[in-house]
Amino acid sequence: SRRPSIYYRPINPNDLDRLEQIHRDIFPIKYESEFFQSVVNGVGIVSWAAVDRSRPDGHCDELIGFVTAKFVLAKESEIDDLICYDSSQGEETLIYILTLGVVESYRNHGIAMSLISGVIRYASGLSLCRGVYLHVIAYNNPAIRLYNRLMFRCVRRLNGFYLIKRQHFDAFLFVYFVNGS
Ligand code: ACO
């Protein structure tokens, strides 16, 4: 069989339909169309895509994985108490990961690991950025293993954070500190 040849690139407006479809397929939560518009147009959102260049024409640039994130002011975040504030250069920020996904047939190849490592590298390059954080539903073991392996720290368990089909589920809050926080 073909050997996948994974490339990482920014998400662009041509990715809209595929991005929506994958979100629908793999997340239990519904995302509004404004969210997808903001992602593909890069309005207040930073994102990266994974594609498999070895796929036949017409598919070689199609999303097979993605990560989406937004900037949050550290002071206004729910982990404001965990941040070290020492800057006279401006306001400290955090990157909050909104969604991360890899289509099923491409899992267990390290693609999510590369996507999240890319976010950490990006955050580390921004001197005012103090960390990358996210919520994960408490039963999502593959995702939790991934964040643990990447040395994220689990700093909170949030009771009933997610409401899915009228049922509450706990979330873990994971943080990866950068730039001395
Ligand atoms: N060969 C063999 N195994 C490998 C390789 C490799 N080259 N590279 C990594 N692996 C293993 C890892 O060690 C890991 O093993 P483990 O599960 O025993 O710990 C496993 O493969 C998965 O790691 P990755 O390949 O980096 O992750 P993947 O690309 O499969 O994506 C993800 C993980 C994103 C959680 C995927 O399962 C998914 O899309 N799930 C549905 C959506 C989801 O849950 N998203 C996260 C929600 S949290 C949030 O969005 C903030």
> Does residue 180 surpass a pLDDT of 90?
no
Contacts of residue 102, Cβ cutoff 8 Å, sequence gap at least 6 = 50, 64, 65, 111, 112, 115
Return the best residue to mutate from 52, 68, 107, 169 for the ligand 1 pocket (most ligand atoms within 8 A of CB): 107
> Does residue 3 surpass a pLDDT of 80?
yes
Nearest CA to ligand 1 atom 22: 108
What's the average model confidence in pLDDT over 31-58? 95
pLDDT digits (tens, 9 = 90+) for 88-143: 888 999 999 999 999 999 999 999 999 999 999 999 999 999 999 999 999 999 99
- Asked, for residue 1, whether it belongs to a domain, the answer is no
> Does residue 20 surpass a pLDDT of 80?
yes
Can you tell me the distance from the alpha carbon of 14 to that of 23, in angstroms, rounded to the nearest whole number? 16
- Asked, for residue 44, whether it belongs to a domain, the answer is yes
* DSSP notation for 98-129: EEEEE-GGGTTSSHHHHHHHHHHHHHHTSTTE
- Asked, for residue 153, whether it belongs to a domain, the answer is yes
Q: Is the ipTM of this complex over 0.90?
A: yes
Nearest CA to ligand 1 atom 33: 112
Nearest CA to ligand 1 atom 14: 108
Determine the atom of ligand 1 nearest the C-alpha atom of 97: 51
| Whole-number average pLDDT of the chain | 95
What's residue 181's pLDDT?
75
Nearest CA to ligand 1 atom 20: 108
Q: What is the CATH number of the domain that holds 104?
A: 3.40.630.30
> pLDDT exceeding 70 applies to what percent of the chain?
99
What's residue 12's pLDDT?
97
Can you tell me the distance from the alpha carbon of 67 to that of 86, in angstroms, rounded to the nearest whole number? 29
**Ligand 1 neighbours by CB, cut-off 6 Å:** 26, 97, 99-102, 107-113, 134, 136, 140, 142-143, 145-146
Calculate how far, in angstroms, residue 110's C-alpha sits from the geometric centre of ligand 1: 6
Number of structural domains in the chain: 1
Return the best residue to mutate from 113, 141, 145 for the ligand 1 pocket (most ligand atoms within 8 A of CB): 113
What's residue 84's pLDDT?
86
Calculate how far, in angstroms, residue 135's C-alpha sits from the geometric centre of ligand 1: 16
Calculate how far, in angstroms, residue 113's C-alpha sits from the geometric centre of ligand 1: 7
> Does residue 57 surpass a pLDDT of 90?
no
- Asked, for residue 12, whether it belongs to a domain, the answer is yes
pLDDT digits (tens, 9 = 90+) for 142-158: 999 999 999 999 999 99
- Asked, for residue 131, whether it belongs to a domain, the answer is yes
Whether residue 99 contacts residue 55, with contact meaning beta carbons closer than 8 Å, is answered with no
Range of the domain at 38: 6-177
> Does residue 1 surpass a pLDDT of 80?
no
> Does residue 87 surpass a pLDDT of 80?
no
